[in-house]
Amino acid sequence: MIVIGVIYLLIMIMDFYPIIKHKKVKHLIINLMFIIPGLIFLFLAAKGIIVKSWITIIWEFLKSLGISY
Amino acid sequence: MTIAETKISGRQFMYSIICFIQASAILNAFISNITYQESWLVVIFAFIIFIPSVFMYGALINRFKDKNLIQIVIQIFGPILGRIISVIYLIFFLSITMFNITDLTDITKTSMLPTTPYIILVMMCILITAWAVRSGLRVLTIYSKMYVFLASFIIILSIIFLFNVIEIGNLFPIFSLPLKKYVQGIHILNAIPFGELVVFLLIAPNVQMNKKQTYKYFFLGASIGAFSFFLTVLRDISVLGETFGMFVFPSLVAFRLIRITEAITRIEILFIVILIILLIFKISILYYVTVITVSQIFNLKKYKNIVLSVGFFLMTAAIVLSANSIQHTLAAQNGAPFIWVTLQIIFPFILLLISLIFNIKSPKEESK
Amino acid sequence: MKKIFILVFLLLCSLFLVGCWDAREINTLFIVTGIAIDKSEQEGFFDVSVIGIKTSPSRGGSQSSDDKDKKIVLKTTTRSIRDAFFHLNLNYDRTLYLQHNQIVIFGEDVAKDDLHRHLEFFVRSENSRMETLMLIVEGRADEVFKMDVKQEQNSTIYLFTHIQTISRRVKHYKISVLNFIANLLTEGFHSVIPIFAVNKNDDDDMPINMTGFAVFRNNKMIAKITDLEALGFVLLKGDVKNTNRTIISYDGMVSFDFDDIKTKKEIIYKDNYPIKIKITIEITARVEELLGFEKYSIQDLNRELHNIVQQEIINVATQTFKYFQELKVDVFGIGLSIYQHHPKKWNNLRNDWDNIFASLEVEINPKVVIKDYGQIVSIYNPGGVK
C-alpha cells in the first residue's frame, strides 16, 4: 500500500514542478494541507486501523439525542 | 468571476444532471431493506417532494447568475463566516466523493475483480477522474449525452429481456408499512441521490442559459434522471420480489437472470460497464466541485495545481472508509440523511430567503 | 514532454494493470456444472459432490474411470457447503469455478431435513449465481452423477437441458435458488421443487424419470406429489403453455393436449374471513388421440368430449386441492393474493393461515374450448362403420 502511495506521489511531481518553478507558495501550502492528512490516512490504512467516519460520529451523537429512525 | 472560464451549453448541463442521477441506480440498496417492495412508491413520493428544491436551486442560480454556491455563501455571510460555512461544504463534498469512490470500487470488486487490492482500484479511479478534472468542465461533460442514451438504452433493453420473469404482483402490497418507513425512505432519497444535485450550483455559472432555461434544464434533468432511477427500482422489484431487500446490488442480480436464448445470457457485464462509466462521470463531477470549492475558499485563480493532492487525500480517505462498509451503509441510511439534507436543501433555502429579504443579488442582476 | 510521459504511463498501465490479481486462465479452473448434496452417515455432516467438465483433452494412455473421459466428479464430506469447496480446492489441482453451475441437486433426506442451511451459501457467495436450478432426487443425489448420458457431456448438463425443455411447456418445473428463496420469504405461500428418480436400468437410454413435485413447508420437504396430483397442481397454478391428459371413459379413450392454461382465483369472504375459493381454469384443448366413441356423431362427440374433459378437470383439481389442504400447505398463492391486495385483512389472517386454508371450500369452474381434432375430422375406425 505504501508503494502505491509513493507511486501516486511521484505522479504528483507533475503538479509540484510548476508550483516550485513559479514559487507559488499558496498552492504549495494548500497541496500540503491535503497531502499530509492523506499520508496519515495511508499510514492508518497500511496498519489496518479502522477509523470511524465523521458521519458515523455525528450519527451516534444524533442517536444519543434521540434524533434517529 | 468564475475560476474556470469554460462554458457549457444548457443541454450539456441537463444531460450531466441525468447522468448524475442514473449513476445512483446502484444506491437503491440504501432503501431496499427499509421499504422493500414499496420502494418504487417511495421513489415517486421522494421526487414529488424534491421538486420545490429544484426550483429553489433554479432561483438561486438566476439570482446570482455568475456566482457559484461558495461565492454566494461568501457574499451573503461575509468573508470570515462565509469561509467557515464553505469549509463545511468542502467537507461535505469530500465525503460524498469518497462515498461514491467506495461504491465504485465495491461494485468493481464484487462483480469483476474480487482479488485486486482496493488501493489499485481507488488509485485508477482517482487518476482517471483527476485527468478529466484537470481538462476542465467542457471535457468532463462532453460525453454526458452519449452516456445518458447508453444508460437509458440498457435500462430499456433489460426490461424487455426480463419480461418473461417480471411478476407485476411483486409490486404489491402498497401502503402496508408503518408511516415511519416511508418517511425514512423519502428522507434518504432526498439526501441521496436527489439532494446531491446541489453540486450543480457550483457548475451553474459556467452554463450558458437564460432564466427560463435554468428552470427548464434543471427540472428536465432531475425528472428524466428520477424516471430512470424509478424504472430501475421498478424492474428490480418486479423481478426479485421478496428478495429485493436482501441484496447489496439488486440490479446486478436482476441482470444475471436475463436468459433469452443460450446466446443472450450472462450480459450483466453490460450493466456493470455502464454503471462504472456513470460512476466515473459522477465522481469526476464531485471531484471537480470539491477542487473548485478549495480554490474558492483560498482565492486561487487556477485550480489545476491542486487537483492531484486533493485526489491523494480522497484516495487514502476512501481506503480507510472502505474498511468499514457496514458502518458506511448504516451511516448512509441513518445519519447521512439528517446531515446531508441540512446542507443540500435547508441551507440553500436559507440563502435564498436571506437574499430575497435583504435584496442581495449578483452585481449583474442588480444592473438589469 | 508531457505527452511522452502520459504515453509511457498509459503503456505501463496496459502492461501491468490488466488482470494481474484476477487473471483466471481456463487451464487452472475446474468448471463446475452441478452440485449434489446428501446426508452423510456421520451425524451433522454432508456428502457434497461436484461434477464438472474437462477443459483440456485427455492425454493418451492415461487411465480414467469416468465414461468418455469428459466428466470429473469430486466428493468430500463436511459440515457446510463452504467447507466443502474449501476442501476440494485444497485437494485438487484446479480452482472450483462456480459461475457455470447449472443445477443444485438435493437428496431426499437433505430435503426433508432443512434446505435453508445449504442455500445460505448460494445466496451469499459472490461466485454463485441465483438462477441456478434446484432439484430433489429420490434417494441419493450423488447417484445422478453416475448416470450414463449419451446425448450430453454429463448428467447435470443433461438435466439442465431437460428442465429447460419441460419448462417451456410447464414453467413450474423450473425452480431456481432465487425463486425458492423468494417463495420462502413470501407471506402466505409455500413452495414446490421438481423431484425425479434415477433410472437404474442400464439398458434404458432415458436415465431419469420426472416423478412430480416435492412439497415444502418453509425449508422442509413434507410430501411428494406425482401423476394425478402433479397434473392437478399444474392446472390449479395455471400459466402453463402445454400439458396433456389421457381420459378413459365408458365409451372410449381420449388423449387431450391442454394449451394455454390460465387460472383465476376469486376468494369469497364472510365477515372479512375467507370461506370459499372459486377457481376458474381456462383451457384450450386439442384432441390428439381418440379411440372408441363410434356411436357419436360429430356434434354429439364434441359435447360428450367437452363434458368428459370438464368433469376430469373438476375431479383432478378438487382432489389435488383437498390433498394440499390436508397437508395445510398453500402452494397456490391464495394467501399471497390476500397479502398483496388486502394487506389489512391479511394482518388478521397471517398467523393462522395454514388452518384457514385447510378449511376453505373449493369450487372449480373449468372453461374448456376444444379447439381442434387434429388432421382428421371423423373417428379413425379402420374396417368399422363410418
ipTM of predicted complex: 0.91
Is the predicted pLDDT of residue C61 greater than 50, yes or no? no
Chains contacting C (3 or more CB pairs within 8 Å): A, B
Would you say residue C251 lies in a domain?
yes
What is the gyration radius of the CA atoms in chain A, in angstroms? Answer: 18
* Same domain, residue pair C384 and C291: yes
Is the predicted pLDDT of residue A1 greater than 80, yes or no? no
| Euclidean distance between CA atoms C349 and C355, whole angstroms | 10
Instruction: Report pLDDT for B1.
Output: 41
Would you say residue A17 lies in a domain?
yes
Average pLDDT value for residue range B288-298:
95
Q: Are strands C46-53 and C29-39 parallel, antiparallel or unpaired?
A: antiparallel
Element (H, E) at C33: strand C29-39
- Closest-CA residue of C relative to B165 is C179
Residue numbers in B near C129 (CB within 8 A): 256
Chains contacting B (3 or more CB pairs within 8 Å): A, C
How does residue C384 score in pLDDT terms, banded at 50, 70 and 90? Answer: very low
Question: Which residues form the domain of C209?
Answer: 27-55+67-218
Sign of CA dihedral C334, C339, C343, C345: positive
Instruction: Report pLDDT for C329.
Output: 95
Q: What is the DSSP letter of C59?
A: P
Q: Does B123 touch chain A (CB under 8 A)?
A: yes
Amino acid present at B203: I
- Closest-CA residue of A relative to C3 is A14
Chain B: closest CA distance from residue C294 (Å) = 44
- Domain boundaries in chain B? 8-346
Chain B: closest CA distance from residue A7 (Å) = 10
Of the residues C187, C218, C249, the one at which a domain ends: C218
Q: At C202, is the secondary structure helix, strand, or coil?
A: coil
- Closest-CA residue of C relative to A17 is C2
Chain A, chain C: beta-carbon pairs less than 8 Å apart: 3
Average pLDDT value for residue range C261-267:
95
CB C221 within 8 A of CB C305: no
Would you say residue C148 lies in a domain?
yes
Q: Does B324 touch chain A (CB under 8 A)?
A: yes
Question: Which residues form the domain of A50?
Answer: 2-64
Q: Does B116 touch chain A (CB under 8 A)?
A: no
Amino acid present at C139: G
Neighbours of A12 (CB within 10 A): 18
- Count of the separate structural domains present in chain A: 1
B8-346: CATH class: mainly alpha
User: What is the tens place of the pLDDT at every residue in B240-271?
Assistant: 999 998 888 899 999 999 988 878 888 888 88
* Same domain, residue pair C320 and C251: yes
- Count of the separate structural domains present in chain C: 2
Residue numbers in B near A25 (CB within 8 A): none
How does residue B367 score in pLDDT terms, banded at 50, 70 and 90? Answer: low
| Euclidean distance between CA atoms B48 and B42, whole angstroms | 10
User: What is the tens place of the pLDDT at every residue in B333-352?
Assistant: 788 889 999 999 999 999 99
Q: Which of B242, B269, B272, B308 to mutate to test the interface with C (most CBs of C within 10 A)?
A: B242
| Euclidean distance between CA atoms B299 and A30, whole angstroms | 11
Would you say residue C199 lies in a domain?
yes
Q: What is the DSSP letter of B343?
A: I
Bridge partner list, C257: C244, C286
Average pLDDT value for residue range C287-314:
89
Among C89, C145, C110, which Cα is nearest to C40's? C110
How does residue B291 score in pLDDT terms, banded at 50, 70 and 90? Answer: very high
Instruction: Report pLDDT for C57.
Output: 54
**Contact flag C17-B256 (C-beta cutoff 8 Å):** no
Would you say residue A12 lies in a domain?
yes
* Same domain, residue pair C232 and C362: yes
Amino acid present at C114: D
Amino acid present at B253: V
* Same domain, residue pair C32 and C156: yes
Q: What is the largest CA-CA distance in chain A?
A: 55
**Contact flag A53-B323 (C-beta cutoff 8 Å):** no
Q: Measured between CB atoms, which of B184, B304, B331 is closest to A53?
A: B331
Q: Does B254 touch chain A (CB under 8 A)?
A: no
Quote the cell numbers at residue B7. Answer: 462554458
| Euclidean distance between CA atoms A22 and A66, whole angstroms | 54
- Closest-CA residue of B relative to C16 is B120
| Euclidean distance between CA atoms C236 and C362, whole angstroms | 11
Residue numbers in C near B124 (CB within 8 A): 13, 17
Is the predicted pLDDT of residue B357 greater than 60, yes or no? yes
**Contact flag B338-A62 (C-beta cutoff 8 Å):** yes
Quote the cell numbers at residue B103. Answer: 461504491
User: What is the tens place of the pLDDT at every residue in B96-105?
Assistant: 999 999 999 9
User: What is the tens place of the pLDDT at every residue in C202-261?
Assistant: 666 778 888 999 999 988 999 999 888 999 999 999 999 999 999 998 888 999 999 999
Would you say residue A69 lies in a domain?
no
CB B331 within 8 A of CB A59: yes
Chain B: closest CA distance from residue A40 (Å) = 9
Quote the cell numbers at residue C241. Answer: 403453455
Quote the cell numbers at residue A50. Answer: 479502522
Residue numbers in A near C9 (CB within 8 A): 11
| Torsion angle of C-alpha atoms B115, B120, B126, B131, degrees rounded to 10 | -120
Is the predicted pLDDT of residue C65 greater than 60, yes or no? no
CA distance readout (Å), C338 to B60, B226, C148, C191, C282: 49, 31, 47, 17, 22
C160-183 residues labelled b (16+ CB within 10 A) or e (exposed): bebbeebbeebebbbbbbbbbbbb
Close Cβ partners of C160 (under 8 Å, ≥ 6 residues apart): C33, C102, C103, C133
Chain A: closest CA distance from residue B184 (Å) = 7
